[in-house]
Amino acid sequence: MQEQPDMKENARELVERAQDKTQEVREQARGLIREQTATRSTQAGQQVQSIGQALRQTSEQLRAQGEDVPARVMEQAAGRLDSIGSYLLSSDPDRILADAEDFARRNPWAVAAGTALVGFAASRFLKASGDRRYRASVVDLTHEGEPEDYEPRHLVGQG
């Protein structure tokens, strides 16, 4: 009967080790996500601000041409992009992730629509690149093992 308590103790130890390992992996994943969020948000913030600057320049050009209404629209868009860029540059990764989670909770349909849109775009990209790879492999297979200067018999002397 000694075996049963030993088996229970071994099972308990295995469960504890698995839980510890799960917690360790979870912490590593959180660290990686924070690190990537910090890097990507800084890059995105810089890009968004440069787009805002370009819109501001376009707005000035439109004003110089007497186009005040489109210039005002461009200026407003530039201001919003500056705000977003500043937020991305100044916020720490935890705040950005918390804000993203809050947005997703408040707007689940927007997140679902965005996810569907990204999925559709990815499927179109994969289909297009798959078609190109298929065509390239067919061309490679038809000329495999032939010398560089090979000319099919029916084309000899027609060049």
Give average pLDDT by consecutive 10-residue segment, the chain, 159 residues: 72 88 89 86 91 92 91 92 91 88 92 90 83 65 55 55
Domain ranges of the chain: 1-106, 107-146
pLDDT of residue 73: 92
**What was the pLDDT predicted at 11?**
85
Amino acid 30: pLDDT: 85
Are 14 and 44 within 8 A, CB to CB?
no
What is the reported pLDDT for 79?
A: 93
> What pLDDT score was predicted for residue 12?
87
C-alpha to C-alpha distance for 93 and 38, rounded to whole angstroms = 5
pLDDT of residue 97: 85
Please, are residues 85 and 45 in contact by the beta-carbon 8 Å criterion?
A: yes
Tell me, what's the pLDDT at 137?
65
